[in-house]
Amino acid sequence: MIVVCEPQCKGFSHEKVNSGFLYGLRLAFPKETLRFYAEQTHINAIKEILKHDNVIVDDIEYIPISYRELNSITGVVSYFLLLRKLFNDVRSLGESRILFLSFSSVMLFMIKKLKQKSVFSDIKFTFVLHAEFEHIKPNDNNVGNSMPVKTSITKSAVKIIRNQKLSKIMAKLIKLIHLKIRVRVSVTVSLFLSRLFPIKKIIMWKHSNDYRYIVLSPHIINNAEKYIDIKNLNIFTVILPTLFVEPSPMPVNRYPKFGVFGYGNSALLSYIAGRLSAMKFPEPYEIRIIGMDNRGTAEIKNVVCPSPGKPLHRKEMEKYAKDIDMFLILYEKNRYQLSCSGSIMESLSYMKPILHLNNECINFFNQTSNRIGICCPTVDEYIDEMVRIIENYQEVLAELNDYRNNIINCREKYDIKNSVNQLRDSFTWPAVSS
């Protein structure tokens, strides 16, 4: 039996990569039952995306788990009890291996403490490394957008007050203030825990061959060597598992349509869209935010957000991506140095050429030998490229078609089927000699 746990994600968070891992495990271990522990809404999202992508992962058991957010004392206790129960389940099944699809430094500390108990001492672990691995860099401050969008209670309050009765105004303001306080406390606790349990220190603490890790792109290994002793960490590379949808035909538009798919970078998009809007092109164009974050762009002409502040389901995202000519990827050089963005794999999945800034993660997939889009060293050059496409759209279409043809090569190269051996090796330990 293969035991897999997703201890953090709810709903549609990471549903694409996690479904890719489950499918990859089925290919790597075709005769073994999969037992998947996750929060119920995430289980529902996994089932939905597998059905949507027409992928069958048979012989799988879904086990719902519940937990509190890890930003309070009750949250810490909740996770400790969850992990202990998981370990007991594994032992009762006669198994000794667990694959964690995500984790935090606090969880890893708990796992290593539990493993010190004799009853759990032979359990072995493989962990998928995500964004928290970025924090192995000294004095890491590059977590959010480099150009923060300012928000305040005052702005939110103005929206509430308009056309509302006094009782409703007071109720909504109290709710808003309470939410702001909760967010502030949550962030403070999270920062405290990250400093108390730094990821670099916890990974190296009591490390042994019973711990293995998966990174989602080769560029991560190259960068991690600067900050941590990766030779002893048993790290494997599995290119970000993605179940690619059927290739769609090239869109036919009268004018260029750019899309930001997923989280994006709202601050930088606001700056770029504002610059373009000020140029007052006679030619039409559209920038469509296929996500929920339209901060700083709501009033900018030519920027459209179908679902501001509300998450979109996969089918809705696909609908809004269908006629997009090019995906905008706005991560700057300091982003995704030690993790992998799902944006690039979404571009490959939906056959969308990319326009991106100089970023090691994206550069790995957009290589000179097989261009799938345009890399811009600076934001000014990024804007210049958008101007070129807007003003010369009909001439650019042939170029975009070449990128699409190269995307097909990338899809074949990075299909999860080509990472089966690495995935199998990351979860296989040599037999203990008697």
The answer to whether residue 117 sits within a structural domain is: yes
Q: Give a yes or no: residue 79 inside a domain.
A: yes
Spatial separation of the C-alpha atoms in residues 129 and 333, rounded to whole Å? 20
User: Are residues 358 and 306 part of one domain?
Assistant: yes
pLDDT in tens, 340-366: 999 999 999 999 999 999 999 999 999
Is the pLDDT score of 411 beyond 70?
yes
Q: Is the domain of 227 the same as that of 81?
A: yes
Host H or E run for residue 213: strand 211-215
Give dist(CA 375, CA 140) in Å, integer.
Answer: 25
Instruction: Assign residue 70 the CATH number of its domain.
Output: 3.40.50.2000
Q: Which residues pair with 260 in a beta bridge?
A: 289
**Strand, helix or coil at 127?**
strand
Q: What is the pLDDT of residues 220-270, one digit of tens each?
A: 999 999 999 988 999 999 999 988 888 888 999 999 999 999 888 999 999
The reply to whether 301 and 395 lie within a common domain is yes
Domain count, the chain: 3
**Distance (Å, whole) CA 399 – CA 10:** 39
Q: Does residue 143 belong to any structural domain of this protein? A: no
Which tokens is 362 given? Answer: 């994206």
Q: Residue 276 domain-assigned?
A: yes
Which residues, 6 or more positions from 54, have their beta carbon under 8 angstroms from its beta carbon?
Answer: none
Residues 291 and 391 in one domain: yes
Q: Report the length, in residues, of the chain.
A: 434
Q: Is 176 in the same domain as 311?
A: no
Residue 342 tokens, joined: 């799902």
Give the pLDDT score at 246: 83
Give yes or no: residues 208 and 301 share one domain. no
Which residues span the domain enclosing 64?
2-138+197-241+417-426
Which residues does residue 357 pair with via DSSP β-bridges, in sequence order?
A: 376
Q: Higher confidence at residue 180 or residue 126?
A: 126
pTM of the complete model beyond 0.75: yes
**Among 4, 19, 43, which residue's Cα sits nearest to residue 125?**
4
- Max alpha carbon distance in the chain (Å)? 78
Residue 337 lies in a domain: yes
Alpha-carbon gap, residue 395 to 427, rounded angstroms: 49
Residues 233 and 159 reside in one and the same domain: no
169 and 214 together in one domain: no
